[in-house]
Amino acid sequence: MKAFQYAAPRREGEVVELLADHAGQTAILAGGTDLVPLMKKMIVTPDRVVSINHVDSLRGITADSSGVRIGAATTLDDVLDSPQLRDHTAIADAIRGISSPQLQAQGSLGGELLQRPRCWFFRNGYGLMAESGRLAAEGDNRFHAIFGNAGPAKFVCASRVAPALIALGARVRLVGPGSEDESDMPLEFVYRTPRDAHQHETVLLPNQLLTHVFVPAVSEWSSATYEVRHGAGPDYPLAAAAVALRIAGGMIEDARVVLGQVAPTPWTSHVAARELLGRPANADTAQAAGEAAVSEATPLANNRYKVQLAQVAVQRAVLLAAGLETGGF
């Protein structure tokens, strides 16, 4: 690890100031499960690490009639165990999928959402765009993107909770770049597919901090996440889908379908959602949604298999959200 300064601010404004006066050469530390290994491998080499673990306002879960507000430094196990989020099934499914109690107890929600991609070219020091996509295009790309991969970015967004939160309509609160600046946007808009090596995989500025996630009330919605994994271990899934449904009288009135591990961002599938609208919540509909979700996939040389896995993930997530199946994998 490169030597760095460590700061332990107590207030959000202080975090932003500490990030700003070292512009770009900083890292935000929450659980450390992603950042510390990246620093050990010198893939991330900040001059200053700003811990957000001592800022009380960034931790905890509060709820009112409009929804649930989660501090970014709240640990994943606290989110999983929270009674306020008992009806947000897709979130619990995704966190349960992470399966390692250490990752759940140590990892924060904000860190889970903003963790760096697992792309092995990136993790081995070739950079996120790996020579503008050539390495991932011509090399072993079995775990890479099957959507949104026309440009140099071939990696997949690593977050496992983001598809669930996006399907449930989550928004995020940001502070920075100025110490008084504050903004609010749908979580979906945080992610982007970088077009060149200067772009990051999120729109966050280096001195901007994601402080809270707001999940709207889900009274009429049911939801689920389904991950296709190689085994029952703690590895990242090969494909995943989160589905939120509003069902009345056995008919699907509204639907959101978001795939994970298939594109440089969480991948909202409007075609799959359209397939579900106005149809009965049953196995045929689930299958049609799965087929629609992958109809526009553009797999690379070694990851054609992921197309079927993504299809199954959507199909099973629809069945789970509709209560036609009861979990397991």
Partner 1 sequence: MKDRSNPTRPGSGFHRRDFLRGSGAAAAATALGTAPTAEAAENASRLYGPGLTKIKLRVNGGERELEVEPRMTLLEALRYGLNLTGAKPVSSDGSSGGSTVLVDGKPVSASTTLALDVVDKDIRTVEGLGEDDAVVQAFVHNDGLQCGFCTPGFVVAVRAFLDKNPSATEEQIRAGLNGNICRCGTYANVIQAALEVVKGGSRG
Nearer to partner 1, 249 or 328 (CB): 328
Other CB atoms within 10 A of residue 66 CB: 10
Binding of residue 106 to partner 1 (CB under 8 A): yes
Binding of residue 2 to partner 1 (CB under 8 A): yes
Nearer to partner 1, 16 or 146 (CB): 16
Nearer to partner 1, 75 or 193 (CB): 75
Stretch that binds partner 1, among 37-45, 111-119, 130-138, 242-250 (CB under 8 A): 37-45
The one among 16, 27, 51, 262 contacting partner 1 by CB under 8 A: 51
Q: Please say whether the beta carbons of 186 and 170 come within 8 A.
A: yes
Stretch that binds partner 1, among 98-106, 140-148, 190-198, 218-226 (CB under 8 A): 98-106
The one among 26, 33, 208, 222 contacting partner 1 by CB under 8 A: 33
Binding of residue 14 to partner 1 (CB under 8 A): yes
For the bound state, the minimum distance from the C-beta of residue 50 to partner 1, rounded and expressed in Å, comes to 9
Nearer to partner 1, 47 or 296 (CB): 47
Binding of residue 9 to partner 1 (CB under 8 A): yes
Q: What is the binding site for partner 1 (CB under 8 A)?
A: 1-11, 14, 17-18, 29, 31-33, 36-37, 39-40, 49, 51, 53-54, 75, 77, 99-103, 105-106, 232-234
